[in-house]
Structure 1
């Protein structure tokens, strides 16, 4: 059965806009990929920015509806607004747990797919902020509603299955397109590292700075460029000044500029405290860059030990050792050999086929 005559409504609280061009970039990538493969798609962006308009964003038709997830009246208003779009669709596809909040109030009988990304499902409850611990039991109940839930890695699928009981829960990865041509690593006298992510506690940029400072003390010649911004910027800048660590903060960049930063590096370094898919690590591997990262997350499912090292006990000493080990064991490998360790498992065609097969199965039952 073709999907050209079926109307798919994608509802997400995460989607890029003029207010934040990086928010939900992976949801945009999925939407563009599905539309390219013939899916008749409309996006409803339930947004925290107060945007209330219909527009075409990078080729995708988007209806933007304001939603403040902490305000009950806003949730009700958004639910009323989104219901007509659901009724006119043949299949509903939601992204992110916050998108479910208005929908649980609504009476509808449509095939429903939900893709989950929330790191709170894989974070120990005691590590969550107090307000998240309070609402967690109520929020998790809404995960039971969709007909099929999709996790981007098995690491996230496991807690989802516990919540959903016997209901269908599957794994479909994020789209991480391979480049048309792989750019060789710089391989200069200075070994370039890159990290991509917010300057936030979970990404642990302070650990990155301390690791680079230690490498200098050990007589090593490494430099790190950190791509991204966030609330820890001032603290990170202070740490760089105090230690003299060879770290450059590139700040926030456009999504299309990220590949260039990866290609200008010899290796990806992400001292994360916990991630689900860890898109930037996957983006680095498909571009032929080896990876050193924190071990907690779903990236362990696709990172081959031949081209990576995951550090379970995060410390500058352990990360510095891992960086030197990975640099040594991969320096004679070609970029194509590194990229081949993941093959086409994250390609646009692979991911689109999995979603379209899922859509067809729901639409024919």
Structure 2
């Protein structure tokens, strides 16, 4: 973790526009587990209550408070667009840092920092996570960051020194947008399997759902599936979002045993996983096109040796091997989801076998050390 003294192969500035949302543990872990490359976190603004990244310097490219307040009051034609102002600040920060490579998480962030990196002669790498590759263009056009991405997407896909997609389905979406087939590295966000012990699922404990309460996470489908069972198992929901009140009302109206815990830290999520029999991930494409890339919670469940019940959606078909590490229903098939939940809930031997295979699969293919080494190989090629 964090390039040892005397073994630094390069310096990388990892850009995230807002640093760092508490749900974005995958960015934190990417920074912390880099081995041969020395990271600096680069951001346009830092959250006061965001995730900490031990041992990694954070550079905030921002305007002074007085200048920002003055510019905010001026017409856009004078002050410049928000993204344009960010570019000016990033240009100054990158001139000071002079990294060997710039790596942006999310296409929307790359659309701001990549042109600056190109201007300064610094190769750039982009990781596309999901919505940035799948949301409909007409929806992207409704926000400034989306319009910037639309205007620059073709050149980002053409000029990036490295293009990473977190799953095969996201890579195919990028090819649909013009990326050269075969030019994309598919590298999922890994998890630290050494920090988690795989244990057999308990005889009781019910189901666990972890995720933002938004349309694509599919909690409504899960509640409908449970409502169709004669004896639905209890469900614990970790996460918050705009649909929480509606989901709580639906669960109560259906007479389901559901606990809504809100947002919880990584340690408590792991505790809840250890207490659960299975993790359910009913993610599906939202009406605006938003899709998952590869839900990290599916990897965390596997690391804990918990079977996953999910829809066969996007990267879940890669993290969950149907019939081997979990059970997959066709996306949107609520009855099929209910059948899979019932099967796992009623068969302790099946739960244990799926969980054991799930841990083996995640350790072999998705451990953070494996995925980070692959990212560093992209950096090596980008600099050469």
TM-score (norm 1): 0.84
Whether the aligned pair in 1 keeps the contact of 2:128 and 2:165 (CA below 8 Å) is: yes
The answer to whether the aligner puts 1:4 opposite 2:8 as a matched pair is: yes
Aligned to 1:360: 380
Aligned mate of 2:201, from 173, 185, 200: 185
| Equivalent-residue separation in structure 1 for 2:52 and 2:307 (angstroms) | 37
Whether the aligned pair in 2 keeps the contact of 1:114 and 1:149 (CA below 8 Å) is: yes
What is the Cα deviation at residue 320 of structure 1? 1.0
Equivalenced residue count is 345
Whether the aligned pair in 2 keeps the contact of 1:172 and 1:354 (CA below 8 Å) is: yes
What is the Cα deviation at residue 26 of structure 1? 0.8
| Equivalent-residue separation in structure 2 for 1:339 and 1:56 (angstroms) | 27
What is the Cα deviation at residue 166 of structure 1? 6.1
Residues 113-168 of structure 1: CA deviation (Å, up to 9, x unaligned) = 11111324235668x57727984642523432311101111111112234223683
3-state SS, counterpart of residue 342 of structure 1: helix
Unpaired runs of 5+ residues, structure 1, are none
Aligned mate of 2:156, from 140, 143, 148: 143
3-state SS, counterpart of residue 44 of structure 2: strand
Root mean square deviation of aligned Cα: 2.9
Q: 1:75 to 1:167 in 2, by over 3 A?
A: farther
Superposed counterparts of 1:91-240, under 5 Å: 91-106=101-116, 107-123=119-135, 128=139, 131=142, 135=147, 137-144=150-157, 145-162=159-176, 163-165=178-180, 168-178=183-193, 179-188=195-204, 191-215=205-229, 218=230, 220-240=231-251
Whether the aligned pair in 2 keeps the contact of 1:46 and 1:99 (CA below 8 Å) is: no
Superposed counterparts of 1:44-63, under 5 Å: 44-47=42-45, 57-63=53-59
Aligned to 1:64: 60
Q: 1:248 to 1:139 in 2, by over 3 A?
A: farther
Whether the aligned pair in 2 keeps the contact of 1:111 and 1:362 (CA below 8 Å) is: yes
Aligned to 2:370: 350
Q: 1:105 to 1:6 in 2, by over 3 A?
A: closer
What is the Cα deviation at residue 77 of structure 1? 2.0
Unpaired runs of 5+ residues, structure 2, are 1-5, 69-75, 286-291
Aligned to 1:311: 329
What is the Cα deviation at residue 267 of structure 1? 0.4
Range with bigger deviation, 258-267 or 84-93? 84-93
Whether the aligned pair in 2 keeps the contact of 1:203 and 1:271 (CA below 8 Å) is: yes
Whether the aligned pair in 2 keeps the contact of 1:263 and 1:287 (CA below 8 Å) is: yes
3-state SS, counterpart of residue 340 of structure 1: helix
Residues 300-325 of structure 1: CA deviation (Å, up to 9, x unaligned) = 02311223222224244222111123
Whether the aligned pair in 1 keeps the contact of 2:164 and 2:186 (CA below 8 Å) is: yes
Aligned mate of 1:255, from 255, 261, 266: 266
Whether the aligned pair in 2 keeps the contact of 1:11 and 1:45 (CA below 8 Å) is: yes
3-state SS, counterpart of residue 283 of structure 2: coil
Whether the aligned pair in 2 keeps the contact of 1:199 and 1:232 (CA below 8 Å) is: yes
TM-score (norm 2): 0.80
Q: 1:252 to 1:56 in 2, by over 3 A?
A: closer
Q: 1:296 to 1:125 in 2, by over 3 A?
A: farther
Q: 1:12 to 1:141 in 2, by over 3 A?
A: same
Range with bigger deviation, 58-67 or 273-282? 58-67
Aligned to 2:73: none
Aligned to 1:89: 99
